């Protein structure tokens, strides 16, 4: 696969590693940016990777309240110093994260946070859906194909429920995780989303359902 200058620049912006290191990592990863980031991190070439073990106890607790006061978010985003906590770029990222949670309703911060039993239950659900489809159509699939389809569905589900894996609603070319990495590299401090709570009016009470997440997304789109 040909590695373009645009691909190299995008990886450099995300990691702050050297241009040649970025190109080499992309070649090794076959053009897959996320895999290239992992390669750079393993080699200790990324500034963001070097900050991974830093203690980030400063930052902001941010609140987002959707118009009409029917949906709200409370999120904690950390950095290493109070100086960076007051930085405009950091504040803008925190606001973006609040909007993301309101709009896309993630359940976890990162994929490592998803309990193993939840993953297994979801995998079993997808397998059951495939088996039901086979029974309905009378077209059984090979076991290898079923395993591949199940893993694909599981990967997509992880992307949907984990905040760092989601595409940003304000810039769909980047995930929230990538934006966090880029800000870490830019500010020279570890930036990490620690936790969040998303409140939706009447949640858990049996009533006529309204899609507030879609409403937030539409508001952002028209803003």
pLDDT for the residue numbered 13: 82
Q: How far is CA 194 from the centre of its chain?
A: 13
pLDDT for the residue numbered 214: 73
Residue with the two structure tokens 């620690």: 194
* HEC readout, 144-181: HHHHHHHHHHHHHHHHHHEHHHCEECCEEEEEHHHHHH
| Cβ 54 vs Cβ 190: under 8 Å | yes
- Mean pLDDT rounded to a whole number for the chain: 87
User: 51: which 2 tokens?
Assistant: 């900050």
| Cβ 72 vs Cβ 64: under 8 Å | yes
pLDDT for the residue numbered 49: 60
Per-residue pLDDT reduced to its tens digit, 101-149:
999 999 999 999 999 999 999 999 998 888 888 888 888 888 888 888 8
User: Could you give the CA distance from residue 130 to residue 149 in angstroms, rounded to a whole number?
Assistant: 8
Q: Which of 213, 200, 217, 194 lies closest to 109 in space, CA to CA?
A: 194
User: Could you give the CA distance from residue 187 to residue 81 in angstroms, rounded to a whole number?
Assistant: 11
User: Could you give the CA distance from residue 200 to residue 209 in angstroms, rounded to a whole number?
Assistant: 11
More confident residue, 206 or 70: 70
Number of residues in the chain = 223
Per-residue pLDDT reduced to its tens digit, 162-191:
999 999 999 998 999 989 988 988 888 889
pLDDT at 97 over 90: yes
Kindly indicate the confidence band of residue 74, based on its pLDDT and cuts at 50, 70 and 90.
very high
Total-model pTM? 0.70
Per-residue pLDDT reduced to its tens digit, 29-57:
999 988 988 888 777 666 666 566 677 78
């Amino acid at each position: 696969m040909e590695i373009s200058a645009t691909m190299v620049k995008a990886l450099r912006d995300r990691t702050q590693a050297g241009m040649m290191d970025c190109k080499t990592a992309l070649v090794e990863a076959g053009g897959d940016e996320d895999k290239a980031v992992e390669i750079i991190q393993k080699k200790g070439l990324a500034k963001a990777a070097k900050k991974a073990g830093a203690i980030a106890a400063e930052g902001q607790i941010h609140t987002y309240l959707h118009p009409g006061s029917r949906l709200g978010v409370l999120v904690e985003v950390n950095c290493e110093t109070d100086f960076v906590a007051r930085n405009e770029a950091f504040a803008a990222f925190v606001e973006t994260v609040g909007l993301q949670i309101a709009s896309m309703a993630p359940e976890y911060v990162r994929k490592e946070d998803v309990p193993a039993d939840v993953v297994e239950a979801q995998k079993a659900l997808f397998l059951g859906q495939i088996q039901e489809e086979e029974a309905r159509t009378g077209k059984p699939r090979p076991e290898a194909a079923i395993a591949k389809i199940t893993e694909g569905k599981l990967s997509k589900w992880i992307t949907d429920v984990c905040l760092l894996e989601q595409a940003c609603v304000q810039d769909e070319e980047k995930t929230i995780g990538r934006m966090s990495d880029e800000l870490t590299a830019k500010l020279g401090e570890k930036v990490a989303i620690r936790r969040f709570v998303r409140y939706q009016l009447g949640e858990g009470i049996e009533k006529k359902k309204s899609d507030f997440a879609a409403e937030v997304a539409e508001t952002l789109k028209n803003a």
